[in-house]
Structure formats: C-alpha cells, structure tokens
C-alpha cells in the first residue's frame, strides 16, 4: 500500500493539534476547581471555569476537584445517651472545598483525594457525634411535645464542633450542613421495645374486652331494674284497680240484705258449684237428695238441711265427702 505524503501530512497535523491541545491546555468545568503543579509544586489554583493553558506533563500537571457541595452519610453507629440508653445514629454531612491551597497538599497524594477527605471528615464526625449524643438524654431525641426542635439543637451542636475542628486542622474544606438522618435502636433493645409494645396492646385488648362485658352487664341490669319497676307499678296499679272494682261492686251488696237467708243460700250454692268443678270424688248415703229417691222418701231440704264434712284422703288430692243427714 502506497502512502500518500499529503495524507500523512494531514494525519500528522491532526495528531499534533489533538495531542498538542491535550498536552498544552485543559478545561475546568463550572463545578470544578483545578490545582496546577509545576514539577510537583502547586503554582496555580483555578476556580473560574473555562479553557486554560499549561505546560505539558511532566512539567506541569493539573489536578481537578469537584467544588460543589459533597454529601455523604456516615455509618450507623451505636452511641450512649446521657441517661444510658443505647441508640443507633447516622448523620449526613455536606462539605465543599473552600481552600484548594490547603486541600491539595493534604489529600492530593492519595488515590482518590475526595474520598480520602470524606474519610477524614467521617472519623472526625464519629468522634464528635458520640460526644454530643452522650451529653443529651433520650428525651431530647424523642419527645411527644417538642416537635423535633431539640433534634435541631443537637444537630447544631455537632455541626459547630465539626466545623471548628475542620477549620482548626486547615483541611481546606468547609462543612456546610449536617443532619441526623437515622435514629434507631440496637437489635436487642428493639426486641425489648417490641415486647413492651405487645404488652401495651394486650393491656388495651383486655381493657376493651372487660369494658365491653362491664358495660353489657350494666345495660342489662338497668333494663332489669326498669322492667321490675314497670311491673311493680303495674301490679300496684292492678291492685288499685281491683280494689276500686271491689268497692264499686260492694255498692250492690245492699240488695242482698233484703233477703239474707236466700242470699247466703245462693252464695253457698255458688261456692259448692265452683268447688265441684275440678276432679272430685263424692261419697253419698242414700239419704242425700236426690239419691234419697232411691229409698222412696221425698226430699225436704228446708226441714232437714244437709251438712258437709271434708275428710282428707290419702293420695295427695282433696276429696269432698258429702253426707246427707
């Protein structure tokens, strides 16, 4: 294959342009900050975005870092409150590079400077978090009345402490914000809380159950009382009515005084008639009218009135024994 010199020239120019621009310039994004080192010594800190020139490596090298706010969440760690309750807490933190000149020498030698800075910050944070949480009772974290305002104060305490330590150590980073992300209980404590919650529920279930029974009993007894009162009132009313009836009926008794003997006889007959309505066994002799007819003698009750005697008879039932005298 023959090589065209023009082709080779164009390719060479293209390669020179591409590699030249690559080696002699670099871009910095809006979100980045760049540190230029000359033979390893930091000689320039570029915070404005755009296209910048440089000498080719290894004379000058460019280190770019994200200058936006970085956020990370630390590990969920077990800490002790001032009233000796174990809780698990994790915190999220927002930080950014504030001084590239301080940041670069401390972290640029590592494989991932941003990650290394995060690790340093996390170690610092863990220390501060444990210390601050240990100063507060559990009620500062969990309270039904404060609306979570105590948590804000605790976050502020941790943030202030971390900020001051980061500033004192001149890491070149600024902690922008911090928040308690998770607040949980260790596994064993969680089990105990579950047990307690179950006990509470059992108490509530029993309460409901027996409240129901008690209320039902109360309703029933009130109903019984009301029923008794109604019946008693009705009985009383009935007695009164009967009494009134008797009183009214007594008015007609004067009629019977006109012929008392006849009245007594009639009342006796009524009583006798009523008495013989049920199952009755009668024993007569032949003098008892109308059985006296069997002896051929006529009956005269007015001259010889009948007498009645009652004799108890074995067998439990009363039997009227009538004898004519």
Partner 1 sequence: MNLLVLLAAGVAGFAVARYCNALAGLVSVVFLGLGGMVAAASWFQMRLEDNERLEQLEFEELAKTHSGSALFEAKDAELFPVKRSREQFERFFIPVFTVVVCLIQAGGAYFLWRWLARPVLVTVVTQPSTALALFGLLALVLFLVGKFSATFARLEDHGLRRPGPVYILLCAYFCFGVALGGVGGEGGLARADLYIARGLCALLALVGLETLVNLVLEMYRPRVKGKVERPLYESRLVGLLGQPEGLITTAAQALDYQFGFKVSETWFYRFFERAISWLLLLQLGALVLSTGVVFIEAGEQGLLERFGNPVPGHTLLEAGAHFKWPWPIDKVYRYRTEQIQTFNVGLTPEAGKESERVVLWTRQHAGGTEDNFIVANRVAGGAEATNDMAGKRTPPVSLITGTIPVAFQITNLLSWAYTNSAAPNLLEDVATREIMRYFVSADMNEVMSYGRLEASETLARRIQAASDGYGLGARIVMVGLQDLHPPVKVAPDYEKVVGATQSKRAKILAAQADSIATNELAGAQAAAIVNRANAVKTETVVGALAKAALFTNQIPAFEAAPSVYVQRAYLRAFAEATPTARKYLLLATNVHDVIQFDLQDKIPYDLMNVTVPPAKK
Q: Which of residues 32-91 bind partner 1 (CB under 8 A)?
A: 32, 49-51, 57-58, 61, 64, 66, 68-71, 73, 85, 87
- How many of the chain's residues bind partner 1 (CB under 8 A)? 147
Residues 6+ apart with CB under 8 A from 311: 319, 321
Please state the closest distance from residue 127 (CB atom) to partner 1, in A. 21
Neighbour tally for 159: CB within 10 Å: 21
Cα 235–Cα 241–Cα 244 angle in degrees, nearest 5: 145
Which CB, 170 or 201, lies closer to partner 1? Answer: 201
Which CB, 168 or 185, lies closer to partner 1? Answer: 185
Which CB, 140 or 166, lies closer to partner 1? Answer: 140
| Residue linked to tokens 């910050």 | 121
Which CB, 6 or 168, lies closer to partner 1? Answer: 6
Please state the closest distance from residue 233 (CB atom) to partner 1, in A. 6
Neighbour tally for 122: CB within 10 Å: 17
Among positions 200, 264, 310, 325, the unique one binding partner 1 when judged by CB under 8 A: 200
Binding segment toward partner 1, per CB under 8 A, in 116-124, 128-136, 158-166, 225-233: 225-233
Among positions 29, 75, 123, 170, the unique one binding partner 1 when judged by CB under 8 A: 29
- Hey, which residues between 253 and 312 contact partner 1 (CB under 8 A)? 253, 255-256, 258-259, 262-263, 265-266, 269, 272-273, 275-277, 279-287, 289-291, 294-295, 299-303
Q: How far apart are CA 20 and CA 60, in angstroms?
A: 14
Q: How far apart are CA 48 and CA 33, in angstroms?
A: 7
Which CB, 131 or 262, lies closer to partner 1? Answer: 262
Q: How far apart are CA 1 and CA 47, in angstroms?
A: 51
Helix (H) or strand (E) holding 167: helix 149-168
- Hey, which residues between 94 and 153 contact partner 1 (CB under 8 A)? 94, 111-112, 138, 141-148, 151-152
Which CB, 16 or 227, lies closer to partner 1? Answer: 227
Q: Where in 170-269 does DSSP place strands (E)?
A: 173-184
Please state the closest distance from residue 116 (CB atom) to partner 1, in A. 12
Which CB, 168 or 192, lies closer to partner 1? Answer: 192
| Residue linked to tokens 């409901």 | 208
- Is the separation of the CB atoms in 207 and 142 below 8 Å? no
Q: How far apart are CA 279 and CA 281, in angstroms?
A: 7
Q: What is the token pair recorded at 176? A: 């922008």
């Amino acid at each position: 294959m023959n090589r065209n010199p023009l082709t080779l020239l164009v390719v060479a120019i293209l390669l020179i342009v591409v590699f030249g621009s690559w080696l002699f310039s670099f871009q910095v994004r809006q979100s980045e900050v760049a540190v230029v080192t000359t033979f390893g010594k930091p000689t320039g800190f570029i915070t404005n975005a755009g296209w910048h020139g440089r000498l080719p490596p290894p004379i000058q090298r460019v280190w770019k870092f994200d200058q936006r706010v970085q956020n990370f969440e630390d590990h969920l760690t077990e800490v002790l409150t001032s009233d000796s309750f174990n809780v698990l807490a994790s915190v999220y933190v927002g930080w950014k590079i504030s001084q590239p000149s301080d940041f670069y020498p401390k972290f640029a030698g590592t494989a991932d400077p941003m990650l290394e800075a995060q690790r340093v910050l996390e170690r610092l944070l863990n220390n501060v978090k444990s210390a601050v949480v240990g100063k507060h009772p559990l009620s500062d974290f969990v309270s039904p009345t404060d609306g979570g305002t105590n948590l804000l104060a605790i976050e502020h305490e941790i943030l202030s402490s971390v900020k001051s330590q980061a500033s004192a150590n001149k890491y070149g980073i600024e902690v922008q914000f911090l928040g308690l992300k998770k607040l949980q209980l260790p596994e064993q404590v969680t089990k105990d809380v579950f047990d307690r919650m179950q006990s509470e529920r059992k108490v509530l279930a029993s309460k409901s159950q027996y409240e129901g029974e008690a209320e039902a009993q109360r309703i029933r007894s009130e109903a019984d009382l009301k029923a008794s009162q109604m019946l008693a009132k009705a009985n009383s009313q009935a007695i009164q009515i009967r009494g009134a009836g008797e009183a009214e009926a007594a008015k007609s008794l004067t009629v019977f005084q006109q012929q008392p003997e006849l009245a007594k006889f009639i009342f006796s007959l009524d009583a006798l008639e009523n008495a013989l309505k049920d199952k009755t066994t009668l024993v007569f002799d032949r003098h008892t009218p109308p059985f006296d007819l069997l002896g051929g003698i006529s009956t005269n009750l007015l001259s010889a009135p009948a007498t009645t005697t009652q004799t108890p008879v074995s067998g439990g039932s009363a039997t009227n024994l009538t004898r004519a005298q």
